Chain A
Amino acid sequence: MGSYIPNTENEQSQMLSEIGFQSMEELFGHIPDEVKVKDGLNIPEGMSELEVRKSMQKIAGKNRVFETIFRGAGAYRHFIPSIVKSVISKENLLTAYTPYQAEISQGILQSIFEYQTMICDLTGMDTSNASVYDGATAAAEGIAMCKERKRKKAMISATVLPYVLETVKTYCFGNGMELVVIPEKDGVTDVEFLKENIDKETACVYIQHPNYYGNLEDAENIGNIVHEAGAKYIMGVNPISLGVLKTPREYGADVAVGDGQPLGLSIAFGGPYLGFMACVEGMTRKLPGRIVGQTVDHNGKTGYVLTLQAREQHIRREKASSNVCSNQALCALAVSVYMAAMGNEGLANAAIQSTSKAHYLAAELEKIGFAVENKTDFFHEFVTKSETPAETALKALEEQGILGGYPLDDHRILWCCTEVNSKEEMDAVVRILKEV
């Protein structure tokens, strides 16, 4: 059995007797017998570190790691600089709790302040929080922060990631907001439907850009429609795309959210990732979760603290703007280090290479009978439709060590390219599919 308890049995007995107990049983003697576990826990015996390592490695070995991936749909394999792992492995940062004691947490607090600044810069917005759980919860929290006494209806486009839509539905089941799904038309949000159904009770409209199918939405136009109705405009964005695409601010958004995973986090079977949230200045006090602010100490020295806590659960309890307590701080740190290491040029380059490669693969697939469905401009994801069943095509790729796109139905596949996919790999996909 492994153990991380330093005190020996002997020391434990001494400590017990010093405080007046004969045994552990006596120390727990005040707990009523009728609720006590009688015959111990029915779980396996503990193991040495060597055995645990072997056991976990064996489990990991049952997963298949694909050398080449063309699948996105909410989880994106991008290049991760080595310095990211180096920084997030530093134990003073890794093993700390939320920075409640500012005087010994200046490093963590400053890193969050830098993260907030970078997210604002990336999205063009004024204020960022310190992160929430992921892109889907950021979307749900973004919608909740727009709720007003006379505006309790939220509208969301059907072209968002399925997990985002489902999560938003769940949160609305909780908080009682009415949710209207704007249908898809030709792969993008049905703007006519939006125009006809937005009203004085609409609190906000949420769209994703680029959307689930990789398409660019008519984002500026939608923003105008939303604002004319007096509602708030929320955009869910892929942060990598912002290296080259217009920011939510430039499209007129009031709130920008998204999943930060593409910025330096591994795909990791779905988590941990992080949700970023940023907004225009007037909405700052509605943001959920932690926010770090700059201030001074008693000697006038610059320092950082958790601030605007009057929004939060530990102060406001049932009147809080959200229940968020733990967030994804270490992931936010990873994102900061990623953006700093990539720099302005690196971020633009990752975006341009991702979209360029997607366009190359789309054109090559088109040549062999995988018709590209996207009717509008797309970023780094696109949909093909083929006579070849999706399952057959993807199986052929899998046999050659390639994880192909995500099957949307029997004949449609959602593909994704990032800067890590080489021309050679894309040509291999085309070669294999030609044979199918």
Chain B
Amino acid sequence: MLVFEKSRPGRGCSMLPACDVEIVLPKEKDKRELALHMPELSENELSRHYTELAKKSHGVNDGFYPLGSCTMKYNPKINEDMAALPGFTEVHPLQPAHTVQGCMEVMKETEEYLCEITGMDHMTFQPAAGAHGEFTGLLLIKAYHESRGDKKRTKIIVPDSAHGTNPASAVMAGYSVVSIPSGEDGCVDLEKLRAVAGDDIAGLMLTNPNTVGLFDKNILEITNIVHGCGGLCYYDGANLNAVMGTVRPGDMGFDVIHLNLHKTFSTPHGGGGPGSGPVGCKECLTEFLPSVLVEGEETLSFVKSEHSIGEMKSFYGNFLVVVRALTYLKTLGREGIPKASQNAVLNANYMMNKLKDLYTMAYDEVCMHEFVMSLSDLKKKTGVSAMDIAKGLLDNGIHPPTMYFPLIVDEALMVEPTETESRETLDEAIQVFRNLYEMAEKEAESLHAAPVTTPVTRLDEVGAARHPVLRYQFS
């Protein structure tokens, strides 16, 4: 039941004291006439309403969440405590510099950690999410070319295996997209890349490991080709959890990157955000960074470059998310960060190897932190699709992998276990996957009907889009 349907006239919570100065009301012409319809409920009823909603939700805290490309690792509790310190939450963003030295230290220290991990020279925390970071990074590339009077570069190369945000961000930055097909091995096809690399190319967007979970071994050659035609290389940090301490984007030839603190650096995703998408770059792009950078040793201050692209949003980014990430970085440190990545890769390979006799792997090679299986054989044989297997997982308390992505693999399921899962959890999930396969062969019908143990069964998405009901209508 919706909170509005539980409302009873006259109920409510008491929050504010009487006003201690004379009441001033706006003139009639500016006074609200439309009635408000906020729910009227006691605090107890309200609290139970949200507890009920929480029970009908599933977080990392509830169980295994191998959602590929999203790095659903455990969200440490101390992160939340530190982000709730009044020294961070009660600070106004426009306070004088000498009263916010701690906030500046958070930004400076996090920048130092992340630049070392990624091989970048500077980093801004203003972008609020990964896609916002992509847009920011592309504007840096645009500003760079324009500053050199190089106006003919109107295109960004994006592999067909890329996240959908990549081409969408390129268009927001005013570029047209050149999509290049991946090779048979799922990696960049060097010949195809060479064929499009020219003086109209502003840059390339790439993840490595790529979205099929493989490390592209030709990476130096790829970035060389792009640099050779005068373009710059953008690293989508969505998959950084595979390679921390092993390789650095900066050493692979990337000029600008974004990270997802809500993936790699353990901050909770909150059912869709807030995230944080800091953008790091090499020295050649630093002068174009948006917002401010923190400088100084003893006394810290904000400095803004004269050639900055401007502001990407208000203030300095999702600051409390950065506080959580710094807490995590301090906890893991020099040994812990590489170990996190090593175990993420180990867990993925372990699962892949224990499933590949039954399920068809899209690429049967050593994977990085995630792997992609194709259920198209299973579907041909039994009629059970990737969607059906995903819904079957729901009945077993497991959040399904990412479905139908990347687009270059038919009936794809993309599995990313992360390093914070135990061997027992992986073994149980492997068993569930195997049981579902058996079910697909013996009783496909029951998988078409899954899930049956959830608060609702499969929902009519087509109907929802065709006849949109996007809000409650008050009678």
Contact = CB atoms under 8 A, between A and B. Distances in A.
Contacts of B272: 97-99, 108, 112, 130, 290, 326-330
A148 B147 CA distance: 29
B67 interface: yes
Contacts of B469: 293-295
15 contacts: A60-B82, A92-B59, A101-B390, A110-B2, A114-B3, A173-B309, A176-B174, A269-B320, A305-B459, A307-B464, A318-B167, A341-B13, A344-B40, A357-B19, A398-B96
Given A30-B366, A339-B38, A377 B92 contact: no
B280 interface: no
Contacts of A164: 314
A406 B315 CA distance: 15
Contact of A268 (B50, B78, B268, B319): B319
A316 interface: yes
A393 interface: no
A326 B272 CA distance: 5
A170 interface: yes
B77 to A, nearest CB: 9
A34 interface: yes
B172 A299 contact: no
B446 to A, nearest CB: 14
A4 B336 CA distance: 9
A412 interface: no
A278 B92 CA distance: 27
A51 B460 CA distance: 51
Contact of B330 (A52, A120, A324): A52
Contact of A326 (B80, B275, B337, B460): B275
B176 to A, nearest CB: 8
B95 A403 contact: yes
B320 A268 contact: yes
Interface stretch (A72-80, A195-203, A366-374): A72-80
Interface string A212-224: 0000100110000
B391 interface: yes
Contacts of B167: 313, 317-318
B19 to A, nearest CB: 5
B353 to A, nearest CB: 4
A344 B38 contact: yes
Contacts of B320: 268-269, 271-272
Contacts of A347: 36, 38
A89 B15 CA distance: 21
Given A6-B422, A308-B465, A327-B273, A65 B90 contact: yes
Interface in B141-194: 142, 163-165, 167-174, 176-177
Interface string A35-60: 11100111111110100110111011
A136 B319 contact: no
Contacts of B266: 4
Interface stretch (A180-188, A225-233, A348-356, A428-436): A348-356
A110 B56 contact: yes
A97 B58 CA distance: 9
Given A63-B88, A103-B454, A350 B16 contact: yes
Given A65-B90, A329-B273, A137 B313 contact: yes
A297 B460 contact: yes
B464 A293 contact: yes
B195 interface: no
Contact of A95 (B4, B61, B170): B61
Nearest to B125: A271
Contact of A331 (B19, B84, B274, B349): B274
Contacts of A137: 128, 132, 312-313
Contacts of B142: 173-174
Contacts of B220: 32, 34-35
B74 to A, nearest CB: 5
Interface in B16-73: 16, 19-27, 29-41, 43, 46-47, 50-62, 65, 67, 70, 72-73
Given A45-B335, A113-B470, 8 more contacts: A44-B334, A74-B315, A103-B458, A106-B57, A291-B468, A329-B272, A344-B35, A359-B24
A116 B473 CA distance: 11
Nearest to A353: B19
B26 A296 contact: no
Contacts of B372: none
A300 to B, nearest CB: 9
Contacts of B337: 41, 43
B132 to A, nearest CB: 6
Contacts of B62: 91-92, 95
B168 A316 contact: yes
Contacts of B13: 81, 83, 341-343, 346
B237 interface: no
B409 interface: no
B87 interface: yes
Given A19-B349, A95-B61, A296 B275 contact: no
B330 A216 contact: no
Contacts of A163: 311, 313-315
A295 B461 contact: yes
B459 A102 contact: yes
Contacts of A61: 87, 102
A57 to B, nearest CB: 7
A349 B290 CA distance: 39
A386 interface: no
Interface string A225-263: 000000000000000001111110110000000010000
B75 to A, nearest CB: 5
Contact of A27 (B43, B134, B271, B346): B346
Contacts of A36: 246-247
B203 interface: no
B269 A15 contact: no
Nearest to B57: A107
A389 interface: no
B165 A325 contact: yes
A291 B464 CA distance: 11
A335 to B, nearest CB: 12
Most chain B C-beta atoms within 10 Å of own C-beta, residue among A71, A131, A320: A320
B262 interface: yes
Contact of A63 (B91, B174, B262, B400): B91
A120 B471 contact: yes
Given A4-B74, A326-B131, A296 B274 contact: no
A64 interface: yes
